[in-house]
Amino acid sequence: MSEPLRIALAGLGTVGGGVVRLIEANAALIARRAGRPIIITAISARNRGRNRGFDTTRYAWEDDMVILGERDDVDVVVELVGGADGPALALARTTFDAGKALVTANKAMIAHHGIELATRAEAAHTALKFEAAVAGGIPVIKALKEGAAANRLHRVYGILNGTCNYILSTMEDTGRDFAAVLDEAQQKGFAESDPSFDIDGIDAAHKLAILSSIAFGTAVDFAAVTVTGIRRVLAADIAQADALGYAIRLIGMAQVSTDAHGQRRLFQRVHPHLVPRDHPLAHVDGATNAVVAEGDYVGRLLFQGAGAGDGPTASAVVADLIDIARGDIGAPFSIPAAELEHAAPADAGLRSGKAYMRFTVADRPGTLAEIAAAMRDAGVSIESLIQTGRIDVAGETRALVSLVTHDGPEAAIAEALRLLDGSPSLAEPPLVMHILAD
């Protein structure tokens, strides 16, 4: 058997610990599948003295994790620290400068600096792999890069954040409101003490930007992702959606199109959607992730599984290590970085579909007429309009009014919201959730 693949591991938290345990537990199996042993030679973490459930003294320790990339006894660096910049980015650059490969689960770093790092890896004729950065243990990146490589993909979308999916599906099952379920998610460890990265959609947006690049051969463009989180979704919205035959899920969606001038346009949005009950994503519950890819020859592909956790994410990291041990380098984004297209953002206003809109309004005569008039003047056709209940806002009773539109351009909805902007009848800005179409 060939010489071992020697790895250094930066970050010994949940995922890092999982990687160590997986490599130790399945060493013989991994060696057979990789064609050579994979061994850990050096590690680094913030707190050297912390009890991590395994013997850290068997490995060389570096207080400065960036040094891992320069060690002579290291072939591949595994970065599991996180953060778009700072030590993680410094380690990645040092690793490529030294001609070594990098495996990372850091979706923020790849979303912000992926093209730079891919260029560095290609120049060094080494590997940059990040399967664990998107959807945890689901091998969706490998599937898009390899299994669907012959297809022209035109849409990729899915449930990309387990915290949000846990909250929304629990609200659906229990009828409780957002704040109560978020508190429960934090107590169970499904949400961080500061959950904003998840519930405001940023985590899902990082993953979507990466998937878009791989699916469509475009440069990663996180800044072009439009993001709306789930903070404003009420139990009343969940109940109303259910009555209409939908489930509410936070969906990241990317799609390519060609404009009138023949230029490719890229649409990227993370946004809560109403998902029809007969769609597979409507039945994805708990902290599960699911990704749908649609290709011209393969049709619709669905990938579903655990999107986080030590075991699934460690599995994705080690799968990348096995590929490197086999000599698989390849372009990080399937196409060489210099050949990735810089597609212009698509105009969301040109998209057509149905939408759910919820208004929190003063409970007084004329309010419904004002809303209906704005919809009429903007050219929005209303399929149904329902007063769904009342809530207390700052000691005053407000009515909840929901409507579903007929199929129409998103620009018309934006115009209706503009006409209603500043209306004294509205206690807060309307909530808009688009309806997922096949």
Active site residues: 207
Q: Is the dihedral of CA 180, 284, 160, 272 positive or negative?
A: negative
Q: Is the dihedral of CA 407, 347, 373, 392 positive or negative?
A: positive
How does strand 128-129 pair with strand 246-258?
A: unpaired
SS3 call for 295: strand
Q: Nearest CA to 152 among 254, 264, 267, 294?
A: 294
For residue 226, give both structure tokens.
Answer: 């439009």
**Backbone dihedral angles phi then psi of residue 434, each to the nearest 5 degrees:** -75, 155
d(CA 148, CA 331): 15
Spatial CB neighbours of 378, under 8 Å, sequence gap ≥ 6: 412, 413, 415, 416, 418, 419
Q: Nearest CA to 75 among 110, 120, 126, 114?
A: 126
How does strand 5-10 pair with strand 38-44?
A: parallel
What amino acid is encoded at 2 in this protein? S
